[in-house]
Structure formats: C-alpha cells, structure tokens
Amino acid sequence: MKRYLVFEDGTYFEGTAFGSDTETIGELVFTTGMSGYQEAITDQSYNGQIINFCAPMIGNYGVAKKFNESKKPTIKGVLAREITDVTGNYQSEMTIDEFLKQENVPGIRRIDTRAITLKIRKAGSLKAAIVDDLDSGLIDQISTWKLDDSQLQKSITPTPAEFAGSGKHVVVLDFGYKESIISELKKRCLKVTIVPGNTSLEAIKNLKPDGILLSNGPGDPTRHTDILPTIVELEKLYPVFGICMGHQLLCLANGAKTFKMKFGHRGFNHPVKDLETGRIYFTSQNHGYAVDAESVEDTDLKVTQVELNDQTVEGVEHTKYNAFSVQFHPDAKPGPHDADFLFNRFWNAINK
C-alpha cells in the first residue's frame, strides 16, 4: 500500500507502508547511525519526532525487547530506504515491522531517505505528516502541530522507581532517561532511585543521595525552567552529572543560554575534543538544542569539550562545585564506548 510523507511546505515523498496503519504528525529528523534502530526508536529523546534512518537498510537483526531504552516508544514514525522481513539474530523476537505494529507506530519504506536528509540539512528540521492519502485532513494540521506538555509527560517516570545496589546512592532526575544510563550506574554497584524531573529539593534531600544525575530527554530545555533553582541548590550539596538534556539544564541553571540547532546531532559518529587533554573521541548523540558557547563565558562554568564539526559545546564543568555535564551519550548502547570513563569520573566524585 502506498504511503506519503508530506512536509509543512507542501512537498511530499511517496513510499510503501509498514508498521501501524495510523496517520501522524511530528518533527522530522535524521540519524546517521548504521545500527541501533531499536535503541533509537525506544529513546525518549525522540519523543514527538519522525525518524529518518540514513542507513540504507534496517531491521536485519530484528527486535528483542531486552534492548529497549524505555518501556514504550513515543516517536511519531519511522522512515527507511528498506527494511528486512527476515532476521538473522538468535536473540530476535520479532521483525521491526511487527514491533512497530505492536507499538502503534507508522512507517514508510522504499522512500528516498537520502533526498529527505538533504532537504532537512538545507532547510532545517521540518514538521511533516505520514498519511495514506494526499487528501487526508491531517495535512492541514501540520503547520499548527507542536510537541505539547501532555506528550512530553509520556517520557517521564510518574513515580519514584528504585534499583537496589550495594554502593552509594544516586538519584536520577528523569526527563526521559535511557535504560543504558541506569545500566552503567548499576555496573558500578550504585543504588539508583529515579524520580520525575520536577521533584522538589526537599523530596530529593529526603532520599539521602550521594550524587545526582540529570538525565537526557526530549524537547526544548527551557520548558523545564521550574527545576533550575533546584539544580542550583543540588550542585552545592552533591556531585552532579548531567547528560544531554541534563547538560543543557545544568548550563541554564548557572546562567548560560541554549538555542535550537538547524538540524541537530543524531548518530554515533560525532567527534568530540577534550580541551584539557587534547584527546578526541567519537560519540553517540541525539539532540536538537545546544548550549550557546558565548553565554558560558560569564558564568561559573568552563567549557571542557567541543564538537569538531561545528564547534558546539559538548561538555562543561563547574569551577566552584563538583558538577559537570556532557551533551553526548557516554552510555552509547549501541555505539562507541570512547566516553564511558565519564561514569567512572562520576563514581569517583561520589566516593571521594
């Protein structure tokens, strides 16, 4: 069956339907990862977005739910040049087509993903609809669509969740966390408690944490301004580690500014330079907003890492308190593990 991708500017691409038979609207973004389609689909940082996969084929190793980054995906759709209907992995439980049907996510295959990527790189991220008919009434709603608070709430743990461990206690402020972040903490025998990102300072202190982790998450970080005063107080009391959205919020709390990028960073091949050591490592990234480098200069933060392609801020640390953050994902499952030492740094700060 034919299915169409219609942009807010009226242009459209034609392909073949797979996944759920629903129609939808979302922000169209592309990812350059050659693998990790399941992790991307279940990453809450993609909430409200239609993912255009640059890899020419996805689905060849199937889907196994133990590799999900969250319990339920909140993406709006999937675009792929081709998907496979036969998998070659002993751990596979279903095909990507079956998975998307199960999760009510529509997809389009045999679509020109290269042309779509080039369009986004030129015009920037655009809103688009996945429809089965060019006369669909949904097309008229594309220009007015936005990622609302009710959709964002689907990414956040509604009540505290605990993971037992024998070590120190880390409280994760959840803005749309990835399971691989929790796995890295558990590997280091840390006790973990996940709480909603808007949890009050007193409630966090009552949990008696030894460290605070600010998680990744979707959307504009300025939506979370209510938590900034809490972050200011937390960094005075505990070691703080921010990842992706958490990085942006740590910077905002200390007086820096953020901006929406033209088409963001999404993929596993982003080179980052450590300004202190000169070391360069490849990183996994997924974000559409970044920290304004000039705005950091008048704060108590210092830039520690930059992205070599566009010189955007990739890491900061506080000059007075034991707080640091990175824009990329040091957990990187799947992807390069060049930066997983940052969890050791956090561990050392907690146990100091």
Residues with catalytic annotation? 244, 329, 331
Strands (E), 203-318: 211-214, 240-243, 258-274, 280-291, 301-307, 313-318
Helix (H) or strand (E) holding 252: helix 245-253
Residues found in the chain = 352
Distance of CA 201 to the CA centre of its chain: 25
**Annotated binding residue 289:** yes
**Annotated binding residue 285:** no
Q: Burial level of 158, CB count in 10 A (0-12/13-18/19+)?
A: exposed
**Annotated binding residue 238:** no
Strands (E), 12-105: 12-19, 24-31, 49-53, 77-79
**Annotated binding residue 284:** no
3-state DSSP of 281-296? EEEEEEEEEEECHHHH
What separation in angstroms does the CA of 326 have from each of 31, 138, 284? 19, 38, 11
Write out the two tokens for 146.
């936005």
**Annotated binding residue 177:** no
Q: Strands 301-307, 258-274: parallel, antiparallel or unpaired by DSSP? A: antiparallel
**Annotated binding residue 90:** no
Residue numbering of the annotated binding site: 45, 217, 219, 245, 248, 286, 288-289
Residue numbering of the annotated binding site for L-glutamine: 45, 217, 219, 245, 248, 286, 288-289
